[in-house]
């Protein structure tokens, strides 16, 4: 597809939902909570590894957001399932927003989780720092990397519990530090990202935007801006959740998604 390989998984039966993951993460992350819940709710769920994440093509020479949007469209076309419901988180949500503009024929409805239409000052600085660490070949101590990752992506309500904090630190440390050329190419997408809020006023499909109240990586006001830009979009904010809110508060996120899909696909 699009001259590259895309690794995907197709499970369940019913109305099709395509799920798009964020920067540096494989599609299998959805399998922890969202994919099985959507299958139980009667959906056919397609998850995949974005360009840059092996075993999909890493494309270390670099690529654009438009390339990733085209990959998602090509997968839907290849499977012959459009129009579909599309769900994305973080960079994946940005891809979903752009897909709804570029290929409205493929998008029946869309849910954007922990999303953004523009990069704030803090988000730009953090992304630049992540790229510089890789470019300077600096590897943080694993325990410190886990602590910083947890601080940026989890709610203080989670981390105040020492047992929960320890479990998360162990999971993050065990997962390692993704430093592949493909991940570096994904991080480059965040350099000089355009403000797309005005463009999103042209999105016409039913839309749900979910923000996480304690998200330090992409604060909820950025998600609300996207909802405000799209006529008729529904905004929901999940309490006690950071950027990984779909993992921290999966029951609430799943409830919101299943309710939205039930209404949008009826």
- Annotated catalytic residues are 90, 215, 243
Whose CA is closest to 191, among 137, 146, 134? 134
Token pair 């993460």 is found at: 25
* Cis amide leading into 55 (omega within 30): yes
**Cα–Cα dist 90/148, whole Å:** 18
CB atoms within 10 A of CB 7: 16
| H or E element at residue 188 | helix 181-188
Residues 6+ apart with CB under 8 A from 102: 66, 69, 70, 73
94 neighbors 120 (Cβ within 8 angstroms): no
Q: Encode 56-78: b = buried (16+ Cβ within 10 Å), e = exposed.
A: bbbbeeebebebbbbbbbbbbee
Instruction: Decide the pairing of beta strands 44-48 and 84-89.
Output: unpaired
4: three-class secondary structure by DSSP: coil
């Amino acid at each position: 597809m699009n001259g590259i390989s895309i690794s995907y998984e197709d499970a369940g039966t019913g109305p099709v939902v395509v799920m798009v993951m964020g920067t540096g993460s494989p599609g299998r992350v959805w399998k922890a909570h969202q994919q099985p819940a959507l299958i139980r709710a009667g959906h056919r769920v397609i998850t995949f590894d974005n360009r840059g994440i092996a075993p999909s093509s890493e494309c270390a020479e670099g690529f654009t957001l438009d390339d990733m949007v085209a990959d998602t469209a090509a997968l839907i076309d290849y499977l012959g399932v459009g129009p579909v419901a599309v769900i994305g988180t973080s960079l994946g949500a940005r891809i979903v927003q752009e897909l709804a503009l570029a290929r409205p024929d493929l998008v029946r409805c869309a849910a954007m989780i922990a999303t953004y239409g523009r990069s704030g000052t803090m988000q730009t600085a953090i992304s630049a720092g992540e790229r510089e660490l890789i470019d300077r070949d600096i590897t943080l101590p694993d325990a410190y990397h886990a602590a910083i990752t947890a601080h940026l992506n989890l709610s203080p309500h989670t981390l105040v519990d020492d047992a929960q904090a320890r479990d998360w630190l162990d999971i993050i440390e065990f997962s390692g530090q993704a430093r592949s050329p493909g991940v570096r190419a994904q991080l480059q997408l965040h350099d000089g990202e355009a403000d797309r809020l005005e463009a999103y006023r042209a999105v016409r499909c039913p839309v749900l935007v979910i923000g996480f109240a304690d998200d330090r990586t992409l604060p909820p006001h950025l998600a609300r801006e996207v909802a405000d830009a799209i006529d008729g979009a529904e905004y929901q904010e999940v309490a006690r959740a950071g950027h990984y809110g779909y993992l921290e508060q999966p029951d609430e996120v799943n409830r919101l998604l299943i309710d939205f899909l039930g209404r949008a696909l009826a």
